[in-house]
Amino acid sequence: MIKVGIVGGTGYTGVELLRLLAQHPHAEVAVITSRSEAGVRVADLYPNLRGHYDGLAFSVPDSATLGACDVVFFATPHGVAHALAGELLETGTRLIDLSADFRLQDAEEWARWYGQPHGAPALLPEAVYGLPEVNREAIRQARLIAVPGCYPTATQLGFLPLLEAGLADPSRLIADCKSGVSGAGRGAKVGSLLCETSESLMAYAVKGHRHLPEIAQGLRRAAGGPVGLTFVPHLTPMIRGIHATLYATVADTAVDLQALYEKRYADEPFVDVMPAGSHPETRSVRGGNVCRIAVHRPQGGDLVVVLSVIDNLVKGASGQAIQNMNILFGFDERDGLSHAALMP
Amino acid sequence: MIKVGIVGGTGYTGVELLRLLAQHPHAEVAVITSRSEAGVRVADLYPNLRGHYDGLAFSVPDSATLGACDVVFFATPHGVAHALAGELLETGTRLIDLSADFRLQDAEEWARWYGQPHGAPALLPEAVYGLPEVNREAIRQARLIAVPGCYPTATQLGFLPLLEAGLADPSRLIADCKSGVSGAGRGAKVGSLLCETSESLMAYAVKGHRHLPEIAQGLRRAAGGPVGLTFVPHLTPMIRGIHATLYATVADTAVDLQALYEKRYADEPFVDVMPAGSHPETRSVRGGNVCRIAVHRPQGGDLVVVLSVIDNLVKGASGQAIQNMNILFGFDERDGLSHAALMP
Amino acid sequence: MIKVGIVGGTGYTGVELLRLLAQHPHAEVAVITSRSEAGVRVADLYPNLRGHYDGLAFSVPDSATLGACDVVFFATPHGVAHALAGELLETGTRLIDLSADFRLQDAEEWARWYGQPHGAPALLPEAVYGLPEVNREAIRQARLIAVPGCYPTATQLGFLPLLEAGLADPSRLIADCKSGVSGAGRGAKVGSLLCETSESLMAYAVKGHRHLPEIAQGLRRAAGGPVGLTFVPHLTPMIRGIHATLYATVADTAVDLQALYEKRYADEPFVDVMPAGSHPETRSVRGGNVCRIAVHRPQGGDLVVVLSVIDNLVKGASGQAIQNMNILFGFDERDGLSHAALMP
Amino acid sequence: MIKVGIVGGTGYTGVELLRLLAQHPHAEVAVITSRSEAGVRVADLYPNLRGHYDGLAFSVPDSATLGACDVVFFATPHGVAHALAGELLETGTRLIDLSADFRLQDAEEWARWYGQPHGAPALLPEAVYGLPEVNREAIRQARLIAVPGCYPTATQLGFLPLLEAGLADPSRLIADCKSGVSGAGRGAKVGSLLCETSESLMAYAVKGHRHLPEIAQGLRRAAGGPVGLTFVPHLTPMIRGIHATLYATVADTAVDLQALYEKRYADEPFVDVMPAGSHPETRSVRGGNVCRIAVHRPQGGDLVVVLSVIDNLVKGASGQAIQNMNILFGFDERDGLSHAALMP
């Protein structure tokens, strides 16, 4: 059993870490911190956890306690991991950061999109982008892992086979993405109220969303060069789920895209290439760590449409974080993540 | 007061016609037909109408009774208007067909997409496509009006200014559309159950949806030539609303798109071009006959993103049908349609 | 045209007043105040109102401007009307308060439930409880009207016929009420987030809810003596709607309850007694000012079950406020409120 | 590993059995039958199961194949288990019936409520009502187990402590119950469409619901005599969840109800008595096998209000069925059922 610490456990990615780790055969949560809820038992804040963590209460963050853990997850707003990572790494613990703090390799780009200076640029060179389908080997050796964002996970997994194979025109990529409201977090915002979001649908941040540079960075790696990406996120009236609808133009329409995708992900435990003609539903991954993908070429044209769905809180956050932990500690990559999605 | 007949009034577009016509100053529903519910009072099937239509019951369709109306709406599955239109037109009544029967000008194309021969090709030459923003003058003289589909309304209104101005590359148009479940009708289908559609989102009919040829036909007219259109509809967990997210490439990035759109729709009572930078929500048109549009050019590139929202049952069906009726009979185009949308 | 002022128009009852008054033939909104949104156009905050109030912006509350109105609605948290009512009444304007400030006749009881002293006890004697089905005559003469709360409206209208007729045991009344989330207002509270309320249902305030004394006060009047009431509100995953399920024991099981209810409400424009055996749905009143009621006596026993539904924002707040205004100014009671509910 | 058969696996309780059994350490699904879907792979019908049951397809029901299983679950409409149970029991397999076929001990009462003769009255004497909190010992020895219905589970667990202790007046019990739509099954019914059930709430079957005699039978046992029960079910706009709000009058208000409930369920792995003053949310049990209960006595009166929540598909159906299986085969009662609920 490894000892796990969680910094900032009161949000949705925090409770999701707790839910998933409750079933993990080789990890147990030893510490969970929250300044605002210090002293409160986690099962009092999240009654779904009653019977699972009855002795565990939120505590004030403290380097000594966290440093005694084998691994520490950051489930915090951006900026917090910047402030604490350096000190914690010195204790020898491994860090898995669910926030955006170490996702962009370029500190200046980070500063532009997040409106504040990067707080730990010296750590960037060793930060590993925790997308196992791309970086599994690097993850095994990492001390500091940046878990990809939700939109970036669904979008990259959908585009990767096309770009790695050099099939798609990298200058004209479109990601039309639809997210459930939990992607906006547990903050008390008018815009996340049921009465503001239910029975409605809207695009947002068309001008530029913080996940845009992260996605572009990943697609550049896959394409081996610059990419042109238009990313339009939408807020949709459901709790969980991301549906990425991806558009790319291919020069060669003779390629068997279905075979390409199946081959690319043949050994991936958490990417499911669905049969040709499928339309994956977000509910088919609700609560599960899977990304389901279908690839289409409508009317036999040169425009490829890729459908990619994940649960934003699982494969798009906490589940992927645990998948990284499993790789890092040499566990079976499926440990704690093998349950079926909840449907209906 | 004109006398209105409705054929096939038990579905969602039927009840929406009733709801809207209950407030109309110059029209009253004299006949409503349904074979399955003949004899049932409309207020027993739709209790929201109690107090509004207490004397009105569904009756078996009958040419004499319908022919005595000034106008007859078809709120029926495809094929029904084909069978009845000819006979009714001979009585001198005007027909406003909410189904797909007369939307496509090409009978063979219709037959291909609907899997059966066109039932009234002789009437096609005089059928007017009832999109007032394009065909207002023709509507005034029409005997037979084909009310546009829901996706086609939102999509065409969003693309028209770009295409009519010759700004967009017509060969690379993408319409990523999201619809509420009422678009699937009131039929008892597993795929429309709350437990199958709530808390989930999926694309469907990526291979080819029946609204594709209708949209393409309208865009060809606007572009003055052939178009290449990719249309991906999505089913989203809400009752009403369509959000069309439209992508087009422009050659000239110096054009003031906001001014272009505002000018195009300056005199349109039911198209609202929102301020630059807006993200229209579908709930802002719930129950209302408005199409709200915002136009974006993210990151200053050459890809234009148009956001276009309607209520699929109102501007996408029954409201637009009444707008057509108002034009046809010389009423104020806003009659019965001037109420604000329901929000929250 | 009378001139209407609205104090505190940024919440859900405020926007609902605007939506309904936009169609009113004899009233126009001249002033709407909000400290937090002063200077913002109402149509910018509520895009459903675009095209309806394009010249109207929120302003800082000001007695002179409000005093120039014929009637002022308070759509404010409790305490605000206490502070402003006295001064405004001196200007001769009529006040219709949607808050709880003048609903309880007993200032001390108010102070106990609201945790602060009553701010205007001197005005209580002339405050009229604005339930038209009970106080229509008093409303005609009122200067200050307290619009009933949402739960109290549904519950009182459901119980009144039984209690006024002396049929029910007044000591054992139970009101099991279910509300949509809009009843909690537009405040940024974690408990009202979509992710906290969607796909879930819970009781709350079982210990004691502020609407309890208001309901009990109304039931005492109807019963002509003390009542014993258990009131259990529930939060349910929808935007609008209240469903009150009411339980009372009757001594005489021979009474024709259906006839009793129909007779009691025969002349009421906004109470609809449904046919025997009905189960009213909240959606049948969505957006409308109607209360629909059905009365049952299951298994022929002595326990009566009354089902009573309203839209909490309309008959439970803003619609009822306008109904009061109509009575007060001698308009047709249905003015601005005659539209059908939105279904589906 | 025991071999499990499932009859009628295409409905929601069928897929839920599959979801839960996929994690079971000692059971594997060997056969699943469906006449309508014979030959279809379960993962094609339920894509959430992709990767879990890739070799399993629906087959036509067949006694030999089913008889080779150690246990057979019936997830069928009523009447089916009547027809098959006798023959299957002769093969020595154990039967766990999720339908209503063997819940009522009185065949005539069953016939009255289900409108057809009881099909296997000879088996009734040995049928065990599978509520472990009441019948654990009998379950261990059973050949034929009738899994309680969803409303009956939530209602009985909420009332039992009061009735077994002789505290409540058994003649005046009220169960006001709220259910998600999945309780209505996966049948293609207009009344279960998203557009008919979302954003609305209604009571139904107030006259008499089939779960009424089942609940009454269980309460009689607990009370040791006749009971008077009023049961009002409501349909609420969510997929999963039952919230039972129970009302009972107590003669002795000095009893410590909290202690009573905690003691009654102290050793129960799946009943969680929440702290005094709690309001359990249905989402706190979503996907989990727990019943959470809170007990209140508002305003210190003699009316007790019990709040009891379950997931209707888990503790109200498939989870409880597996709990019965675990008891029957001597497994740990928590096997396959120990995961935390999904929240948010």
Q: Is D275 on the interface with C (CB under 8 A)?
A: no
What is the reported pTM? 0.98
Structure tokens at D32: 């699943």
Closest CA of chain A from D322, distance in Å: 16
Q: Name the phi and psi angles at D328, rounded to 5.
A: -60, -40
CA-nearest residue to A11 within chain D is: D344
Q: Which of A131, A105, A133, A128 is nearest to A118 (CA)?
A: A105
pLDDT at residue B138 is higher than 90: yes
Structure tokens at C289: 């000012």
Q: How far apart are CA B62 and CA C104, in angstroms?
A: 59
Sign of the four-CA dihedral B262, B267, B269, B270:
negative
Q: Is B191 on the interface with A (CB under 8 A)?
A: no
Residues of B in contact with A303 (CB under 8 A): 172, 174, 230
Would you please indicate which residues of B are annotated as catalytic (active-site) residues? 150
- pLDDT truncated to tens, each residue of chain A (344 aa)? 999 999 998 999 999 999 999 999 999 999 999 999 999 999 999 999 999 998 999 999 999 999 999 999 999 999 999 999 999 999 999 999 999 999 999 999 999 999 999 999 999 999 999 999 999 999 999 999 999 999 999 999 999 999 999 999 999 999 999 999 999 999 999 999 999 999 999 999 999 999 999 999 999 999 999 999 999 999 999 999 999 999 999 999 999 999 999 999 999 999 999 999 999 999 999 999 999 999 999 999 999 999 999 999 999 999 999 999 999 999 999 999 999 999 99
- For residue A9, the model assigns a pLDDT of 86
Contact A342 D281 (CB under 8 A): no
Peptide bond between residue A132 and the one before it cis (omega within 30 degrees of 0): no
Q: Is D197 on the interface with B (CB under 8 A)?
A: yes
Q: Give the length of chain B.
A: 344
Which CATH number is B150-312 given?
3.30.360.10
Which CATH number is C150-311 given?
3.30.360.10
Assign residue B184 a region: left if phi > 0, alpha if psi is -120 to 50, beta otherwise? alpha
Instruction: Give D151-311's CATH code, choosing from 3.40.50.300, 3.90.1150.10, 3.30.2350.10, 3.30.360.10.
Output: 3.30.360.10
Of B15, B239, B340, the CB nearest to C19: B340
pLDDT at residue B270 is higher than 90: yes
Contact D186 B190 (CB under 8 A): yes
Catalytic pick among D69, D150, D177, D291: D150
**Domain assignments of chain D as residue spans, ordered by start:** 2-129, 151-311
Q: Name the phi and psi angles at C66, rounded to 5.
A: -65, -40
DSSP C276-339: TT----GGGGTTS--EEEEEE-GGG-SEEEEEEEE-TTIIIIIHHHHHHHHHHTT--TTTT--S
Q: Is D266 on the interface with B (CB under 8 A)?
A: no
Would you please indicate which residues of A are annotated as catalytic (active-site) residues? 150
DSSP secondary structure code for residue A316 in this structure: I
Q: Name the phi and psi angles at C307, rounded to 5.
A: -110, 125
Closest CA of chain B from D184, distance in Å: 10
Contact B344 C182 (CB under 8 A): yes
Residues 157-176 of A with CB under 8 A from B: 172, 174, 176
Residues of D in contact with C203 (CB under 8 A): 243, 245, 279, 305, 307
Q: Is A334 on the interface with C (CB under 8 A)?
A: no
- Give the model's confidence band at B183: pLDDT under 50 very low, under 70 low, under 90 confident, else very high: very high
- pLDDT truncated to tens, each residue of chain D (344 aa)? 999 999 998 999 999 999 999 999 999 999 999 999 999 999 999 999 999 998 999 999 999 999 999 999 999 999 999 999 999 999 999 999 999 999 999 999 999 999 999 999 999 999 999 999 999 999 999 999 999 999 999 999 999 999 999 999 999 999 999 999 999 999 999 999 999 999 999 999 999 999 999 999 999 999 999 999 999 999 999 999 999 999 999 999 999 999 999 999 999 999 999 999 999 999 999 999 999 999 999 999 999 999 999 999 999 999 999 999 999 999 999 999 999 999 99
Mark out the alpha helices in chain D (DSSP H runs): 12-21, 42-45, 63-67, 80-90, 107-114, 132-141, 150-164, 194-197, 211-223, 257-264, 319-328
- Give the model's confidence band at B253: pLDDT under 50 very low, under 70 low, under 90 confident, else very high: very high
Residues of C in contact with D207 (CB under 8 A): 277, 296, 298-299
Residue recorded with tokens 């637009």? B320
Contact D283 A48 (CB under 8 A): yes
Q: Is D267 on the interface with B (CB under 8 A)?
A: no
Mutate to test the interface with A, among C150, C182, C193 (most CBs of A within 10 A): C193
Mutate to test the interface with B, among D195, D199, D312 (most CBs of B within 10 A): D195
Q: Name the phi and psi angles at A229, rounded to 5.
A: -125, 130
* Under 8 Å between Cβ of D232 and C245: yes
H or E stretch covering A160: helix A150-164
Strand partners, A303: A249
Q: How far apart are CA D251 and CA C300, in angstroms?
A: 26
Structure tokens at C11: 């919440």
Q: Is C64 on the interface with A (CB under 8 A)?
A: no
- Give residue-wise pLDDT tens across range C60-114: 999 999 999 999 999 999 999 999 999 999 999 999 999 999 999 999 999 999 9
Q: How far apart are CA A43 and CA A51, in angstroms?
A: 8
CA-nearest residue to C339 within chain B is: B23
Q: How far apart are CA A180 and CA A282, in angstroms?
A: 10
Please name the residues in contact with C193: beta carbons below 8 A apart, sequence gap of 6 or more. Answer: A181, A186, A188, A192, A193, A194
What are the b/e assignments for A286-320, b being 16+ CB within 10 Å? bbbbbbbbbbbbbeeeebbbbbbbbbbbbbbbbbb
Q: Is D343 on the interface with B (CB under 8 A)?
A: no
- For residue A269, the model assigns a pLDDT of 98
Contact D193 B199 (CB under 8 A): no
CA-nearest residue to D195 within chain B is: B239
Domain formed by D2-129, architecture: 3-Layer(aba) Sandwich (3.40)
Q: How far apart are CA C127 and CA C125, in angstroms?
A: 6
Instruction: Find out if CATH 3.40.50.300 is the number for domain B2-126.
Output: no
Q: Name the phi and psi angles at C240, rounded to 5.
A: -115, 155
No. of H helices and E strands in chain D? 11, 13
CA-nearest residue to A186 within chain C is: C190
Contact C296 D201 (CB under 8 A): no
Residues of B in contact with D15 (CB under 8 A): none
* Under 8 Å between Cβ of B210 and B114: yes
β-strands C71-74, C94-97: how paired? parallel
Q: Is A204 on the interface with C (CB under 8 A)?
A: no
Contact B274 C47 (CB under 8 A): yes
Residues of D in contact with A182 (CB under 8 A): 344
Q: How far apart are CA D15 and CA C97, in angstroms?
A: 52
Residues of C in contact with A239 (CB under 8 A): 194-195, 198-199
Of C52, C272, C344, the CB nearest to B239: C344
Q: Is A292 on the interface with B (CB under 8 A)?
A: no
* Under 8 Å between Cβ of C232 and D244: no
Strand partners, A97: A74, A146
* Region B226-237 average pLDDT: 98
Strand partners, D4: D29, D71
Residues of A in contact with D281 (CB under 8 A): 47
β-strands C229-235, C173-179: how paired? parallel
Burial status of residue D2 (CB atoms within 10 A of its CB: 0-12, 13-18, 19 or more): middle
**DSSP reduced 3-state for A314:** helix
- Parts of chain C with a pLDDT under 50: none
Closest CA of chain A from B302, distance in Å: 10
Outline where DSSP puts E strands in chain D: 2-7, 27-33, 71-74, 94-97, 127-129, 144-146, 173-179, 202-203, 229-235, 242-249, 271-273, 291-296, 303-310
Q: Is B343 on the interface with C (CB under 8 A)?
A: yes
* Under 8 Å between Cβ of D317 and D147: yes
Give all chains having 3 or more CB-to-CB distances under 8 Å with chain D: A, B, C
The topology under which CATH files domain A2-149+315-328 is Rossmann fold (3.40.50)
Closest CA of chain C from B95, distance in Å: 25
Of B201, B282, B344, the CB nearest to A196: B344
CA-nearest residue to B235 within chain D is: D194
Closest CA of chain A from D49, distance in Å: 6
Q: How far apart are CA A215 and CA A231, in angstroms?
A: 9
Of B23, B46, B280, the CB nearest to C343: B46
Of C181, C190, C196, the CB nearest to A195: C181
pLDDT at residue B9 is higher than 90: no
* Region B71-81 average pLDDT: 97
Closest CA of chain B from C171, distance in Å: 34
Q: Is A196 on the interface with B (CB under 8 A)?
A: yes
Q: Is the ipTM of this complex over 0.90?
A: yes
Measured in whole angstroms, the distance separating CA C213 from the mean position of its chain's CA atoms is 15
Domain formed by A151-312, architecture: 2-Layer Sandwich (3.30)
